[in-house]
Amino acid sequence: MLFAVRCRASQRDGRAIRSERERNGRRTLVAGEEILQDFDSVIDAAWWSAKNIPGFLTEHEARFIGLLAAYSASTVRGHIVEIGSFKGRSTIILATVARHYGLPPVVAIDPHNFNSIELQHHRVTEDSSSFAEFESNLKAAGVSDVVEVHRAYSADLATNWNRPIGFLWIDGDHSYRGAKLDFDGFSPYLVDRGLVAFHDALHEFAGPIRVFAEDVLRSDRFGASGFVGSIAWSQHRPGASSRWDSMKKSLARGAERLIPFVSDERPLRGPRKMLYKLNRSRVPRSLPNVSEWIAQLQ
C-alpha cells in the first residue's frame, strides 16, 4: 500500500494519527506511517517472546529490526529473509511482525551446525546443533507456521533464489567473504524501497562493515541509511538515491575508518582496540524515533 504524502510524519504518534483521521476523515498517511497505530504493542509482544533466547541481539536492535520488518510489510510486501537464525531470537521478532502485518512466512536460513554462536564458519560438525532449540523456541513463541525454515548455507539457497525481498537481514557468516556472498546472492532481489540490514557492523568483524561501506554506502542503488546499535541498515532506492548522497558519504567516512582495524579478521587488543573504539564512538547509532525514521524514507 502506498499513501500520498500529505503531511510530515515526525512528531506524531499512533494515537495522534488515528484521531486526526477520525476527526476529518480526509488525512492520508505517508508510506509506512500506518504501522504507527499499533507498532509499539506488536514489538513489545515480540520482544517478550524472544528476550530469553540466547543471542547477541540487544533489545534496541530487536525493536529496530521489528521496525524494518513492519515498514517493509506496510510499503513493499516482499519476503523477509533472515540469514543466520541460531536459536531464533531475531527469527521470532521478525515472524511476530510478519504474522501481525499479514506477510508471507519469514525465510530463515541457517545450517544449524553449531550449538554456540559461530560467526565465521570453518567446519561442520554433526554432533552439536542449534536446530532442536531453534524449533522448540519457535513453537513456544507460537510462530512455527510463519517461518519457512531452510537448514542450509545461504550461498546454496541463493543459487536458486528468485522471490522478491522486502527486508534482507544478514546475520550469518561475518567474515568478509561470507557477508559479501550473502549480499551479492540476495540483494539483487530487493524490491524498490526494500530494506537491508547487517548485524554486528560495529563489532570487530571484517565482513558486515566492509560490505556496508563499499557495496551499500558507495552505491547509487541505496538511499537512506544508518546505524542502530551494531546494525547497519539501508533502503534500496535504485534511480532515486541522490537525495541521500551527503548522508551516505558522511556515514561511509565513519565506516571506512573502521575497516583497517578489522580487515585481518583477528581479535583486536591493546591500543589498536582502543583506537577502534574511539573511531566507533564517532558513529551515530541510537534508536530513532519511529515516526521521524519513517519520514526520512519518503
Task: Name every residue whose Cβ is closer than 8 Å to that of residue 102 and which is 6 or more positions away in sequence.
Answer: 73
Q: Binding of ligand SAM at residue 232 (CB under 6 A)?
A: no
Piece in contact with ligand SAM (CB under 6 A), picked from 5-13, 117-125, 267-275, 280-288: 117-125
8 Å CB contact between 217 and 225: yes
* 113, 114, 131, 135 from 127: Cα distances, Å: 8, 9, 11, 17
Q: For ligand SAM, which is the closer residue by CB, 171 or 215?
A: 171
Given 14, 32, 66, 84, the residue binding ligand SAM (CB under 6 A) = 84
Q: Which triple of cell numbers denotes residue 48?
A: 517478550
Q: For ligand SAM, which is the closer residue by CB, 29 or 119?
A: 119
Tell me the Cα Rg of the chain.
19
141-160 residues in contact with ligand SAM (CB under 6 A) are: 153-154
**How far, in Å, CA of 182 to CA of 187, rounded?**
8
Q: Binding of ligand SAM at residue 111 (CB under 6 A)?
A: yes
Piece in contact with ligand SAM (CB under 6 A), picked from 7-15, 26-34, 84-92, 264-272: 84-92
Provide, rounded to whole angstroms, the least separation between the CB of residue 281 and ligand SAM.
23
Which of 1, 171, 148 has the alpha carbon at shortest distance from 71?
1
Q: Binding of ligand SAM at residue 32 (CB under 6 A)?
A: no
Given 67, 119, 146, 191, the residue binding ligand SAM (CB under 6 A) = 119
Output phi, psi for 181, to 5 deg: -60, -45
Given 39, 47, 86, 167, the residue binding ligand SAM (CB under 6 A) = 86
Rule CB under 6 A: which residues touch ligand SAM? Answer: 55, 57, 83-86, 89-90, 109-111, 113-114, 117-119, 121, 130, 153-154, 171-173, 178
